[in-house]
A and B are shown apart, each in its own frame.
Chain A
């Protein structure tokens, strides 16, 4: 029942002692020893949906791009239209291989003197390599700041009540969705962004590595509930957000994943655009959808979607939704089965369970609300 693993090779964030003191259960994630939960993942999940929770996401990577050619570099390396953001604004975007496979999905922020890309922990090296490869033809510098920058996500409808007593200025409280500012928070210099991965409103705060515990303790003292990666995953699934390595990857079409809204297909000057334009025009054999089970059970990655005895898709993520108290998940299914409301049959370890394609987000969320 227990898999014992050697933890020696795993890296730890500067918040590790805070997690230990809070009773965290740790697990390996992308080379890091991260808190999975602090006793009850469902309690943490519901705290974020109804109140406020705080996550250590220091394992994520931060890459700075600056120089006169920085914007041109990012226009070539990333799918979204980088000309649409100015200083203080962020944008969800993708980095594709030349064949259209996904190297990473990320958020890029424009700062007065540079750009900052926040990338998945497992993809820092791949993103750096790609930016430097594309950057060779541009007058720009690419610097990895991942080891210096800690990151804390404060998420939930009560985020303002938690943070308002800690900020030096009101600017963080007034941020538009996906906007970013600099401020002192709990006397720590922070880049503060109105972003997140839970579906709820809130902030992501990037701070100097060694200052993170002071900010964490202040947020917890102000009422935020410490939350681990298990709750982060169930929250993003209810919100319907794809996860790199499950819904997105080198061998997955981003068009099939439905993230063309984060692509400048009109300009189409980005690397990997040709495949995306063709797939957008011709359609893909499969489409990503979110689904809800109509009966008890929990779908897991790898479960097959079946129809009349034939495979018509595969589950890429699944869990029990703490809000809906039903099995939920995401699956790649035959293109004609991806419309909202379509009934699906999912083979969960030999038992056929009825489900239906559902609109995302799967629960009411506050992300875009003020």
Chain B
């Protein structure tokens, strides 16, 4: 799982989700902190392509052997792609949370919501406040 890291080019949500902005679309995933807290991920209950996701609402579930965790949408929009590799190999969320472990791609309905997210510095400060 490697050491804690939080890339500077991402935006972060307080429920420990990250966003990579790509034009009017965005890629979502969970942070190193989230995967570490959840432990070895064994199941990804993904949304359907075309499903609407709403900022701050759960859109998927990740399960470790012992626990189920809701995954929250950092921004609102419509799912345009689901990472099927995580469905078949859920451990990718642990081994590469910002790369191969991405969860969904979303066409954003309100890109201005990005202003409510944290940058790397704010998120790492937020994590320090939790410990």
A contact residues vs B (CB 8 Å cutoff): 1-2, 25, 36-37, 39-42, 230, 233-234, 296-298, 300, 319-320, 349
B37 and A2 contacting across the interface, CB-CB below 8 Å: yes
Cβ–Cβ < 8 Å partners of A37 in chain B = 39-40
Which 5 pairs from chain A and chain B are nearest by CB? Answer: A320-B42, A2-B37, A41-B65, A1-B37, A298-B63
Q: How far is the CA of A242 from the CA of B55 in the complex (A)?
A: 42
Query: In the complex the two chains form, is A39's CB within 8 Å of B43's CB?
Result: no
CA distance A40 to B40 in the complex (A): 6
A297 contacts across to B, CB distance below 8 A: 43, 45
Q: Is B15's CB within 8 Å of the partner chain A?
A: yes
Q: Are B39 and A25 in contact (CB under 8 A)?
A: yes
Give the B interface residue count (CB, 8 A).
19
What are 9 of the A-B contact pairs (CB < 8 Å)?
A1-B16, A1-B69, A40-B40, A41-B40, A41-B64, A230-B66, A234-B65, A319-B65, A320-B42
Q: Taking the complex as formed, is B38 at the interface, i.e. its CB lies under 8 A from any CB of chain A?
A: yes
B43 touches A320 (CB 8 A): yes
In the bound complex, CA of A55 to CA of B63 (Å) = 24
Is B130's CB within 8 Å of the partner chain A? yes
Chain B residues closer than 8 Å to A39, beta-carbon distance: 1, 40
The answer to whether B1 touches A2 (Cβ under 8 A) is no
Once the chains bind, are B38 and A298 in contact (CB under 8 Å)?
no
Question: Which B residues are CB-close (under 8 A) to A300?
Answer: 68
Which chain B residue shows the least CB distance to A327?
Answer: B43
Asked if B34 lies at the interface with its beta carbon under 8 angstroms from chain A, I say yes
Complex Cα distance, B130 from A298, in Å, reads: 30
Within the assembled complex, what's the spacing in Å between the Cα atoms of A319 and B42? Answer: 10
Bound: A1/B31 CA distance, A = 12
Chain B residues proximal to chain A, CB less than 8 Å:
1, 15-16, 34, 37-40, 42-43, 45, 61, 63-66, 68-69, 130
In the bound assembly, the distance between CA atoms of A9 and B18 in angstroms comes to 36
Taking the nearest CB of chain A, how far is it from the CB of B84, in angstroms?
A: 12
Specify which of B15, B34, B43 lies most central, judged by the most chain A CB atoms within 10 Å of its CB.
B43
Nearest CB in chain A to that of B44: its residue: A296
| Contact indicator B40/A2 (Cβ below 8 Å) | no
Given A2-B130, A298-B63, A319-B65, A42:B37 Cβ within 8 A: no
C-alpha spacing A320/B34, complex, angstroms: 20
A41 adjacent to B43 (CB under 8 Å) = no
Question: Could you tell me if B42 and A1 are in contact, using CB atoms closer than 8 angstroms?
Answer: no
When chains A and B are docked, how far (Å) is the Cα of A230 from the Cα of B65? 7
Q: Are B65 and A42 in contact (CB under 8 A)?
A: yes
Which B residues touch A1, using CB under 8 A? 15-16, 34, 37-38, 69
Give chain A residues whose Cβ lies under 8 Å from the Cβ of B43. Answer: 296-298, 320
A25 to B64, alpha carbons, bound, how many Å? 14
Instruction: Name B66's closest neighbour in chain A (CB-CB).
Output: A230
B42 and A298 form a contact (CB under 8 A): yes
By a CB distance below 8 angstroms, the chain A residues around B63 are 298, 320
Bound Cα distance from A349 to B45, whole angstroms:
11
Q: In whole angstroms, what is the CA distance A320 to B39 when docked?
A: 14
Task: List B contacts of A25 (CB < 8 A).
Answer: 39
Give the shortest distance, in Å, between A304 (CB) and chain B (any CB).
Answer: 16
Q: Tell me the complex Cα distance, A22–B19, Å.
A: 34
Q: Which residues on B sit within 8 Å (CB–CB) of A298?
A: 42-43, 63, 68
What's the Cα separation between A40 and B39 when bound, in Å?
8
Q: Is the CB of B39 within 8 A of A41?
A: yes
Min C-beta distance of B47 to chain A, whole Å: 13
A320–B42 Cα gap in the complex (Å)? 7
Task: Enumerate chain A residues within 8 angstroms of B37, measured Cβ to Cβ.
Answer: 1-2
Q: CB-CB < 8 A to A320: which residues of B? A: 42-43, 63, 65
What residues on A are CB-neighbors of B42 within 8 Å? Answer: 42, 298, 320
List residues of chain A with CB within 8 A of the CB of B1.
39
Report A14 CB to chain B, min CB distance, Å.
25
Please give, as numbers and ranges, the residues of chain B lying within 8 Å of A41 by CB-CB distance: 39-40, 64-66
Complex-state Cα separation, A298 to B90, whole angstroms: 13
Instruction: Output the nearest chain B residue to A3 by Cβ-Cβ distance.
Output: B37
Determine the distance from Cα of A297 to Cα of B15 in the docked complex, in whole angstroms.
23
Task: List the B side residues contacting A319 at CB < 8 Å.
Answer: 65-66
Complex-state Cα separation, A233 to B67, whole angstroms = 13
A12 to chain B, nearest CB (A): 21
A-B contacts besides A297-B43, A297-B45, A298-B63, 8 pairs, CB < 8 Å: A1-B38, A36-B66, A37-B40, A41-B66, A42-B40, A230-B66, A298-B43, A300-B68
Q: How far is the CB of A293 from chain B (nearest CB, A)?
A: 11
